Structure 1
Amino acid sequence: MEEHERGNGWFSGLSLSGQFLAAAAVVLCLSMAVLGTWINRQVTRSILAVSGSAGAAFLDAFVEPLIQDIGPDGRLPAGSHKALDALLFDDQPIRRSIISVKIWQLDGTVIYVNKPKDLIGQKYTSTDVTKAASGEIIAEFDDMTSGESAHERQLGLPTIEVYAPLHRNTTGEVIAVGEIYENAEILAAQLELSVMRTWIVVCFTTLVMLAVLYLIVRRGSRLISSQRAELQARFRDSQQLAATNEDLRLQAERARLDANAANEELIGRIGLDLHDGPIQILSLLMLRLGRLRKDGSARENAANAAVIEELTAGVIHELRVLSAGLVLPEIGDLGVGEAIRLAAERHENLTGTRVDVVFGDLPEHVTGALKICIYRIVQESLSNAFKHAGGAGQRVRAELRGANIGLQISDSGGLASECRPPAGDGSRLGLRGIQSRVETFSGTLVIRSDAGGTVVDVELPISKLALIKAGFRNVPVL
């Protein structure tokens, strides 16, 4: 298993062209080896077929006429033996190509052989004799494994062994089987040369095919590698650009939120400073003036003190109103619905009007900054409703809309002048303040005004992910 894993690791570590070269080399070499072996066998078979035909022709022309007087018992007369010996005498030219000749009975008994004579009368089991007795011509190259081929095997020569049926001239029946051994030295040399040439051509063709295919695949592999590297570089650039854009967006969101928080903190500090500074001093001044008027004996001092007291009371009243508008009431421990209801109740107390408050499903916890934003939007929208619609039909609805808090502040005072304030009117600042607060939290603001009244519709996101990206920490799970 470890060797298999090492093999896979070696192969997978190669380039695409290297993997193709290794796989193609194995496939082509195996294919060409099979092809070369098949070609060599076909050549050998073709040569044996030709040699078998020539051997069968020799047996038909020279041997078959000399065995026509074979007896019913399958024996050859002595005259036939002499005639065959004379044909195959050592000095005869035919012996240059014919090494030996055997004649078999159909049952596998040797009835003639030129050398050695002691084989005559012996019986062997031979499938080749059986096939030839049925009418086939058998040709074999260097197949001298049987016992009756011991003499030919001792000569050490390559031979072609041919078996052919011998017929009676009058009836055409097979009366014996002839076997000859041909000298195949020249044929063996030609076969060896043919095999060598075949393998040279096969190897050369394989190398050319591998080289051409490798060059094509290598070119494609380089093109793929360059395109892959280019795509990876572009992908990294796009990732870096996306990360940069995301950082810039988060920085912008964080800056807006920080500015909003700073503004709220500044406004609250101003309100506290006004309340704790000038108002306290003027309150002490009124106490001192009250005592002066009680203790003074001169009528003029009393009159002046009364005037000063009246003016000081007016200043204190104005500063109290101003500081009350600047200082946000403590809403840190209140829920979203309680903060909205507090804004509505303060508006009712200041204006003497009625505000209907309707709640849908609301989150239990939101950030303090988002709660302040919701409080200010409700406060400013109700203030505009009182200024331009006289407080008629004032209504506040708050509910969850998916991952957003939806606020709807409406009145029934007819077409509001808020949409087209007169020159110098400060009410446009209220709308700008609401718009600024909504944009700080990436929310949406829609204002609709017609003859039936004015509706201020706001949606503020409350998802944890959005608030964390905006720079808030310790965000509760909603």
Structure 2
Amino acid sequence: MIWPSDKIGSKTSSFGLAHQFVLAAAITIAVSMGLLALAISQRIETSMMQTAAEEGALFMEVFLGPAAQELATSRTLSPESVKKLDELLEGRLGERMRLIKIWLPDATLAYSTNKETIGAKFPSLPIAAAFEGKVSGEFDYLDEVDNATERHLHVPLIEIHAPLFRAGTKEIIAVGEVYNDGRRLAADLHSIRLFSVGIVGAVTAPMMLILFLIVRRATNMVRDYQTSLMQNVAEAKSLASQNDKLRRIADDARLEAANSNENLLARIGRDLHDGPIQLVSLLILKLTDPTTKRRAEAGHRDPPDPAIETLTTRILSELRSISTGLVLPELEGLTPNEILTLAVRNHEEATGTSVSSQIGALPADLALPLTTCLYRIVQEGLNNAFHHGKGKGQRVEVWADKRSIVIAVSDSGPGVVADLAGRRSRAGLGIAGLRNRVEALKGTFEFISQPEIGTQIRAKLPVASSSNKNVN
């Protein structure tokens, strides 16, 4: 059986667990008390009826037995015997006994205080059982055909059947039937039933009360736990929402930091190009001016020191290299495939080495932070391959599906030392910077280097189109 349950988190319920228990327990106890009272009353009624039957059998043996001896040889009683039997009900005995009958073995009525039914046959199970030697008693409300004239009494009677024996033997010659007033016995049985119900109620009521208190306490505990659980769930949802908001803020901050860093590097590169590089270029022009050389040869000034020119050229080369690594080429208007091809070509022109590239078709609308990250991975990976792998077996591989882009830059050099991942390269951002850049885009980054086998940089980035996210 499925009962209505309390609503989780609610303080009240129209039909809670305690109410369910009260209803179920009340029905169970009521049925149990009724059955117990019925069983007890029936047991007592059987015992009392058997006692009444035995008393009636003794009465019939004393008062009906002598008159019934004639039936051993005759089917009728003499007028004298009938008169004696009639006189039994005229005294005080008649106040208790209402009807007397004597039956022959073939269920013929040989005697009755109601003379109208004498000689008729009324077979019945109690008569048959009495001829077998059994004494029986039961309540009778005069519903049988042979009691039609006595129904006006309207009182419960105790009907008793007992065998009548031939004097001095165990031979049954007839069956006596008497009807005693059963009102007193019926009243006693009714009192016993009420008393039984009272006892059962007195015993079960405290038990029911204790169980009800236990169930109510358990219900309150469950309700409190449910309320606490709902509060914890609400707090967990709130914390999860806050964490998600903080995560998005952190992601935006990382992207903004990467974009700001890119702008900073570009500005530094422009400043280096427009400032020191221009000045050093002017210095070289002055030092290598033919007029200056002629004047020096004419004795006006000593010839320029070759070491100064060499040192100045080296400074200029270093500044150009730094500026080239910091300044991001103009990528606007190029597709992702063209951007990666540009990174490979710039490296080949700068180093004079060859790079094997296999770049699959990439989405044309990738977000700017993603294309910038791909360019930097190729740039940094090839720079490391040139400086640490001697430019041997330089290779760039890129492939994509609907959800992600995988890029790998490798070489066949001698491998690198373990702390390269935490160092900044000569012209780039370093492996640590690449890792941060990739993780800011929610990607994964791997740096694998094995002695005498080579080094590989591998990154897997989720696809983000410019229509979804574009950080300037």
Q: Same fold (TM over 0.5)?
A: yes
| Cα deviation, residue 152, structure 1 | 4.3
Contact 1:20 1:217 (C-alpha < 8 Å) held by counterparts: yes
Tell me the amino acid that sits aligned with residue 158 of structure 2: I
Tell me the residue number matched to 2:190: 192
Measured at CA, do residues 403 and 459 of structure 1 come closer, stay the same or move farther in structure 2, by a change above 3 Å?
farther
Tell me the residue number matched to 1:306: none
Contact 2:438 2:461 (C-alpha < 8 Å) held by counterparts: no
- Identity over aligned residues, as a percent? 33
Tell me the amino acid that sits aligned with residue 218 of structure 2: G
Matches within 5 A, 1:66-465: 66-70=67-71, 72=73, 74-86=75-87, 88=88, 90-91=90-91, 93-113=92-112, 115-150=113-148, 152-169=150-167, 172-265=170-263, 322=323, 326-330=327-331, 333-335=334-336, 337-359=337-359, 366-399=366-399, 405-414=405-414, 416=416, 419=419, 426=426, 429-449=429-449, 451-452=451-452, 454-462=454-462
**Stretch deviating more after TM superposition (19-28 or 154-163):** 154-163
Aligned equivalents of 1:255, 1:154: Cα separation in 2: 107
| Cα deviation, residue 180, structure 1 | 0.6
| Cα deviation, residue 31, structure 1 | 2.5
| Cα deviation, residue 355, structure 1 | 0.6
Tell me the amino acid that sits aligned with residue 66 of structure 1: A
Contact 2:411 2:456 (C-alpha < 8 Å) held by counterparts: no
| Cα deviation, residue 405, structure 1 | 3.7
Aligned equivalents of 1:147, 1:452: Cα separation in 2: 123
Correspondence 1:474 to 2:468: yes
What is the TM-score with the length of structure 2 in the denominator? Answer: 0.76
Aligned equivalents of 1:261, 1:94: Cα separation in 2: 124
Contact 1:143 1:161 (C-alpha < 8 Å) held by counterparts: no
SS at 1:357 equivalent: strand
Measured at CA, do residues 213 and 9 of structure 1 come closer, stay the same or move farther in structure 2, by a change above 3 Å?
closer
Deviations 1:426-458 (A, max 9, x none): 568534432332332244444445552651423
Tell me the residue number matched to 1:24: 25
| Cα deviation, residue 188, structure 1 | 2.6
Unaligned runs of 5+ in 2: 8-12, 283-293, 296-311
- The alignment of Structure 1 onto Structure 2 pairs a total of residues equal to 434
Deviations 1:268-295 (A, max 9, x none): 57778999x99xx99xx9xxxxxxxxxx
SS at 2:133 equivalent: coil
Contact 2:157 2:183 (C-alpha < 8 Å) held by counterparts: yes
Aligned equivalents of 1:47, 1:81: Cα separation in 2: 31
Aligned equivalents of 1:323, 1:426: Cα separation in 2: 11
Measured at CA, do residues 417 and 95 of structure 1 come closer, stay the same or move farther in structure 2, by a change above 3 Å?
closer
SS at 2:71 equivalent: coil
What is the TM-score with the length of structure 1 in the denominator? Answer: 0.75
Aligned equivalents of 1:47, 1:362: Cα separation in 2: 104
Contact 2:413 2:455 (C-alpha < 8 Å) held by counterparts: no
Measured at CA, do residues 175 and 343 of structure 1 come closer, stay the same or move farther in structure 2, by a change above 3 Å?
same
Correspondence 1:39 to 2:40: yes
Aligned equivalents of 2:348, 2:424: Cα separation in 1: 27
Tell me the residue number matched to 1:296: none
Aligned equivalents of 1:67, 1:259: Cα separation in 2: 128
Tell me the amino acid that sits aligned with residue 340 of structure 2: I
Deviations 1:176-234 (A, max 9, x none): 22111112333233222212212222333343332222112112112222222222222
Tell me the residue number matched to 2:50: 49
SS at 2:141 equivalent: coil
Tell me the amino acid that sits aligned with residue 384 of structure 1: N
SS at 2:130 equivalent: helix
Tell me the amino acid that sits aligned with residue 103 of structure 1: I
Aligned equivalents of 1:424, 1:162: Cα separation in 2: 120
SS at 2:23 equivalent: helix
Measured at CA, do residues 34 and 8 of structure 1 come closer, stay the same or move farther in structure 2, by a change above 3 Å?
same
